[in-house]
C-alpha cells in the first residue's frame, strides 16, 4: 500500500508579500542589482519557495538570501 504525502504550501498575505518585497529590495540594493534582472528574479522565486515551506522569519530569510 502506498501513501502519498501532500506538502501544504502556506498562503501569502499582503503583509507577507510586503515583507518578502522588502527583503528582495534590500538584497538587490546591497548587490546593486536591478530588481528585474535574472539573478533578482531567481532570488524572488527562492524567497517565496522558502516562505511557503515554513521559513517565515525575516532574519532567517535574509540569511538564506546571503548564501546566494
pLDDT in tens, 9-58: 777 899 999 999 999 999 999 999 999 999 999 999 999 999 998 999 99
The count of domains in the chain is: 1
Residue 2 lies in a domain: no
Number of H-type helices and E-type strands within the chain:
3, 0
Residue 53 lies in a domain: yes
Residue 67 lies in a domain: yes
Residue 7 lies in a domain: no
End-to-end CA distance of the chain: 41
What sign has the CA pseudo-torsion 45, 51, 54, 59? positive
Place of cell 548564501: 67
Cell numbers for 1: 500500500
Residue 5 lies in a domain: no
Which residue range(s) make up the domain with 58?
35-68
Q: Does residue 6 surpass a pLDDT of 60?
A: no
Residue 62 lies in a domain: yes
Residue 45 lies in a domain: yes
Amino acid at each position: 500500500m502506498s501513501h502519498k504525502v501532500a506538502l501544504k504550501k502556506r498562503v501569502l498575505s499582503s503583509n507577507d508579500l510586503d515583507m518578502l518585497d522588502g527583503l528582495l529590495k534590500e538584497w538587490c540594493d546591497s548587490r546593486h542589482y536591478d530588481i528585474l534582472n535574472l539573478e533578482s528574479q531567481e532570488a524572488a522565486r527562492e524567497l517565496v519557495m522558502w516562505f511557503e515551506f515554513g521559513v517565515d522569519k525575516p532574519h532567517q530569510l535574509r540569511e538564506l538570501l546571503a548564501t546566494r
